[in-house]
Amino acid sequence: MDEKEVTFAEALNEAFREEMYRNDSIFLMGECIPFTGYESTYALTGLYEEFGSARVRDVPICEKGFITMGVGAAMTGTRPVAFLSAGDWTLLACDSIVNQAGRWKYMVGGEINIPLLIFIRIGTGSGIGMHHGSTTEATFFHQPGLKIVFPSTPYDGKGLLKTALRDRDPILYYAHLKVFGIKGTVPSEDYLIPFGKADIKKTGNDVSIITYGYMVHESLKAAEKLENKGIDAEVVDLRTLIPLDEETILKSVKKNSRVIIVEEGNKRGGIGAELGMIIVENAFDYLDAPVQRVAGVDVPLPMSPFLEKHALPNESDIIEAVEGIFSL
């Protein structure tokens, strides 16, 4: 099988280009997405030149307006992709995403599909503060009628994005800025990755680290260092939060009997809270130590990089947490 090395951003760009050639009904809309210096930050380099202004649409600063228009367009024969340049903007469009995109299908008894993809660029950890730097997947994880994708590598990013662009439901696709430049290999030929299948990024037999998105990389770094300390950690990358691969999570936890859940978002009411309870409900008897969470602290994200780093989890927090459950 032919392979090539690309960055995460290049992999996503390929996915958009290939799918837009494959399906004429896909169109993109987002603030400044046609323009140099902006398009690249959404992984859209060159697409405006290739597909024109009807399919790569610039929009006014009307997040809830254009995302809700995406809902209407999606139910009547097109496949809109709406771009948000910060996780925080999802909250501006909260009604559009939760009440409209997530509930319209149910509201009409399943008569329609809403193939609306909302592509969210996440800048957590980049010093851009409380209104640009937040990650919001946990907010939407609570809501019915949506799917949530949060990839960590070029291979996963491309395969999941292509699946998303062929799916029939509203999807939140989170793309982390710190992952954009990460390189990896992708096959030259067409491939898809199904939703709801976690990927074990590193196998290990002592402790399971369950995570997703950029935190996969912090977890892998931590696992490497833990190996030097004689702890063999397994890193489970969820890849999609809805649907959630409970089977892989529970299998890993039952095997290792110790588990750490790592997420970048706020700890309170986060993804880890739900995962922890799933583990407790289904694998309690297998546990040799309490389920532990490593997560963002419950504050608005400070803009200062000096303070921001104290609000977000990193490699050493993960190592500390793992060592903690082994010292119990």
Partner 1 sequence: MFKKALSTNMKINDIIIEREILINMYTDMLRIRKFEQKVVELLLRGIPVAWVHEALGQEAVTAGSISALNENDYVLPHLRGWGYYLCKGVESKKIMAELLHKETGLAKGKSGTQFGCIDKRVLGKSGVIGAGIAVGTGVSLSCKLLNTNNVCLIFFGDGGSNTGYCHEAMVMAGAWKLPAIYLCENNQYMMATRFHDVTATNNIADRAIGYGFPGVIVDGNDVLDVYKSTLEAVNRAKEGLGPTLLEAKTYRWSAHFYGRKTDYRPKEEEEIWEKRDPIKLFKLKLQKMDICDDDGFNTIELQINEEMEDAAKYAIESPYPKPESIFDDVLTDYGGV
User: What is the set of active-site residues?
Assistant: 132
Order across the sheet with 233-237: list the strands. Answer: 199-202, 233-237, 207-211, 259-266, 292-296
For position 70 contacting partner 1 by CB under 8 A, the verdict is: yes
For 306, list phi and psi in degrees, rounded to 5.
-70, -35
Sole window of 193-201, 248-256, 269-277, 306-314 interacting with partner 1 (rule: CB under 8 A)? 193-201
Among 36, 37, 54, 306, binds partner 1 (CB under 8 A): 54
15 CB-contact burial (10 Å; exposed 0-12 / middle 13-18 / buried 19+):
buried
Sole window of 64-72, 211-219, 291-299, 315-323 interacting with partner 1 (rule: CB under 8 A)? 64-72
Among 40, 45, 113, 185, binds partner 1 (CB under 8 A): 113
For position 194 contacting partner 1 by CB under 8 A, the verdict is: yes
For 69, list phi and psi in degrees, rounded to 5.
-60, -35
List Cα–Cα distances, 25 to 73, 159, 254, in angstroms. Answer: 10, 20, 45
Share of the chain residues as helix, strand and coil, in percent rounded to the nearest 5: 40, 20, 40
Query: Total binding residues for partner 1 by CB under 8 A?
Result: 53
Strand, helix or coil for residue 247: helix
Among 80, 125, 157, 313, binds partner 1 (CB under 8 A): 80
The answer to whether the CB of 6 falls within 8 A of the CB of 14 is yes
Gap between the Cα atoms of 216 and 239, Å rounded: 10
Among 65, 127, 302, 324, binds partner 1 (CB under 8 A): 65
CB of 257 to partner 1, least distance (A): 29
Among 5, 22, 23, 62, binds partner 1 (CB under 8 A): 62
Question: Cβ neighbours of residue 272 under 8 Å, at least 6 residues apart?
Answer: 261, 262, 263, 293, 295
Among 99, 257, 282, 314, binds partner 1 (CB under 8 A): 99
**Residue 260: beta bridge partners?**
209, 292
For position 111 contacting partner 1 by CB under 8 A, the verdict is: yes
Gap between the Cα atoms of 225 and 217, Å rounded: 13
> 126-155: which residues touch partner 1 (CB under 8 A)?
144-145, 147
Contact flags string 150-179 toward partner 1, x per CB under 8 A: ----------x--xx-xxxx----------
Least Cα distance to 236 among 119, 135, 152 occurs for 152
For position 52 contacting partner 1 by CB under 8 A, the verdict is: no
Residue among 39 and 167 whose Cβ is closer to partner 1? 167
Contact flags string 239-258 toward partner 1, x per CB under 8 A: -x-xx---------------
Give contact residues for partner 1 (rule: CB under 8 A): 25, 27, 54, 59-60, 62, 64-66, 68-78, 80, 95-96, 99-100, 104-113, 144-145, 147, 160, 163-164, 166-169, 192-196, 240, 242-243
